[in-house]
Chains A and B, each alone.
Chain A
Amino acid sequence: MAATETKTAAPPSGLAEFWFYFSRNRGAVLGLGIFLVILCLAIAAPLVAPHSPSEQNRAALLLPPVFAKGGQLTYLMGTDPVGRDILSRLIYGARFSLFIGLVVVSLSVISGVLVGLVAGYFRGRVDTVIMRLMDIVLAFPSLLLALVLVAVLGPGLVNAMIAISLVNLPHFVRLTRASVMTERTKDYVIGSQVAGAGTLRLMFMTILPNCLAPLIVQATLAFSAAILDAAALGFLGMGAQPPTPEWGTMLAEAREFIQRAWWVVTFPGLAILITVLAINLMGDGLRDALDPKLKRS
């Protein structure tokens, strides 16, 4: 009997299908690679970094990088005005940036999805109130609102993260609400409602999983935006405070030396740019892989 069985190829698993579309975008794979390298460096910072990020060498102030004239092999990217190794500070700084991105995205996704789900599911007055509140937040330029919030809460990394999460919130609320509203009236939702599914089950088990794709893409973009905003706040002196080796804060400290020591300014910014770029490349690939409407392009 076994001989008559026809072999049909099993449908590809969700992950395999995702990887198929994701890996077709070479930039996205490159971004993922760079991101993983940065992630490993951040995790293994104490092992990888040649020096301690706070160790000051009085004999080597503002030393140029190794490839420039006067550089030393022990300080590959040179030293800053108080003789700290820039490379080590950048490696430790990756921890802060990735941590900021992770916390901000978690905070704004969780709260944004909850609020958006409530607004889109119940509609009516709740929805109106929520959307008006979000309009209020959106009426301010994001960085200005974050800056003022940090002024209220007091400068520092934790407060900067809270402020950026709050500023990011409306995007997730709006996005979730919009997708919930389209899914809400579809047959499968009505079907499970008729079958007796409760409100919470409908919201979280039936509707939410079908709204995830655009949220994941938005979360990636918010991750890189959070790193940029936190660095900007650090640069303005309102984020992480010196001597924290946060990239934006490092730039702020290096500002007065731009005419004398280009490397103190160049490398921290380059670290921000590469990290943000890698995440945005991944975001483009995720959009191609997850958004069925755009799969053809």
Chain B
Amino acid sequence: MLRFIFGRLLVLIPTFIGVSIIAFAFIRLLPGDPVMLMSGERVMAPERHAQIMAELGLDRPMYIQYFDYLVGLLQGDFGKSIISKRSVLTDFLTLFPATVELSFCAIVLAVALGIPAGMLAAVKRGTWLDQTIMGTALVGYSMPIFWWGLLLIIFFSGYLGWTPVSGRISLMYFFKPVTGFMLIDSLISGQAGAFKSAVTYLILPTIVLATIPLAVIARQTRSAMLEVLGEDYVRTARSKGLSPFRVVGLHALRNAMIPVITTIGLQIGVLLAGAILTESIFSWPGIGKWMVDSVFKRDYAVVQGGLLLIAAVIMIVNLVVDVLYGLVNPRIRR
């Protein structure tokens, strides 16, 4: 097992170097002068230009610049925002919990609804129930989530007035962030109504972000379930006289879960891509909105650092999923 984990880690090294080269190259590929871009100034005397060039190390050969960049990364230096002058890593760590909170709620919702829906469709295969569930799943899978979010806002926030439109919690509540997770922080703060407020702000973004993973999980559960239901051990369990509930819920589900768990793991990248859109629609202060805003503000240092940090998160999550999968299914350890 240790060898398996170690092997996976070794593969990550060239990928990380590649990712860092892309992030490094990004700022140099942009149209325009890098000094102007990085300093954020419009007009500049040639002497000052040369001075900044030297300050930023841009006058040195490319490979030395890259080496310095890499050394900086390993020391936790992901650059500084051109506009706010804050460290990119600090901003990332401040905003990341918001994205994690939203993504976590979305994946919980997707699993909690998707697995039972897929099971039901498989057991009732061919009936109208199956067709309705699978039809809905395909609609969810085809959904432009940025439009879906707007529709939900029109209906629930505009027409019914049930949910707020944007942000994480009502402005009436203010407390120092402890964990960065609004649900937990609002409970810790002990202010009456704070937790409820946080929940109402979370509902719509969660639904929007969960839509596509939910559809994928439901479809995957159904097909895995159908495959397992035809196996001999399921027939044996049935002929032993076990209740259908026990056969499906225990014997079949356990074995059908292996491909479904992989699918859930693969949804992490989908969630982060979805977070970019969802956070933009609901003004959710997470890393997705942060990246989009930085692209628009031309804060390329943030884009560069954020790109690298997000890729690192995805790589680590994929590694964890791989290792977990190796634990569950020893055959793939080879």
Contact = CB atoms under 8 A, between A and B. Distances in A.
A9 B184 CA distance: 71
A147 B31 contact: no
B18 A132 contact: yes
B310 A251 contact: no
A248 B146 CA distance: 9
Given A147-B292, A147-B295, A235-B277, A281 B138 contact: yes
B295 A273 contact: no
Contact of B226 (A232, A251, A297): A297
A129 B170 CA distance: 51
Contacts of A236: 276-277, 280, 292
A266 B149 CA distance: 11
A214 interface: no
Query: Which of B19, B158, B273, B303 has the most chain A CB atoms closer than 10 A to its own CB?
Result: B273
Interface stretch (A59-67, A148-156, A188-196, A198-206): A148-156
B273 A144 contact: yes
Interface in B246-297: 269-270, 272-273, 276-277, 280, 288, 291-292, 295-296
B311 to A, nearest CB: 4
Interface stretch (B22-30, B53-61, B187-195): B22-30
B150 interface: yes
Contacts of B315: 139
A148 to B, nearest CB: 6
A144 B276 contact: yes
Contacts of B163: none
Contacts of B11: 135
B327 interface: no
Contacts of A235: 144, 146, 277
A268 B150 CA distance: 12
Contact of B146 (A136, A138, A251): A251
Nearest to B304: A148
Contact of A136 (B15, B26, B29, B269): B15
Contacts of A143: 273, 276-277
Interface stretch (A14-22, A41-49, A257-265): A257-265
Contacts of B36: none
A151 B295 contact: yes
B contacts with A: majority SS: helix
Given A273-B143, A273-B144, A266 B151 contact: yes
Contact of A258 (B158, B273, B276): B158
A214 to B, nearest CB: 16
Interface string A124-164: 00000000110110111111100110011010000000000
Where chain A touches its partner, the secondary structure class is helix
Contacts of A251: 146-147, 150
A141 B295 contact: no
Contacts of A269: 144, 147-148, 150-151
Interface in B7-25: 11, 14-15, 18-19, 22
A255 interface: yes
A284 interface: yes
A217 interface: no
A237 B296 CA distance: 9
B276 A262 contact: no
Given A142-B269, A147-B276, A258 B150 contact: yes
Given A139-B15, A148-B307, A273 B150 contact: no
A255 B282 CA distance: 12
A273 B142 CA distance: 6
B223 interface: yes
Nearest to A129: B14
Contacts of B29: 152
Contact of A142 (B31, B138, B144, B273): B273
Contacts of A132: 14-15, 18
A116 B73 CA distance: 33
B314 interface: yes
Contacts of A224: 142
Most buried by B among A142, A231, A255, A269: A269
Contact of A139 (B139, B142, B311): B311
B96 interface: no
14 contacts: A138-B269, A139-B18, A140-B307, A140-B310, A144-B291, A144-B307, A148-B26, A151-B30, A151-B303, A232-B277, A236-B280, A258-B150, A259-B154, A272-B147
Interface of B: 11, 14-15, 18-19, 22, 26, 29-31, 135, 138-139, 141-144, 146-148, 150-151, 153-154, 158, 223, 226, 269-270, 272-273, 276-277, 280, 288, 291-292, 295-296, 303, 307, 310-311, 314-315
Interface of A: 27, 132-133, 135-136, 138-144, 147-148, 151-152, 154, 224, 228, 231-232, 235-238, 248, 251, 255, 258-259, 262, 265-266, 268-269, 272-273, 276-277, 280-281, 284, 297
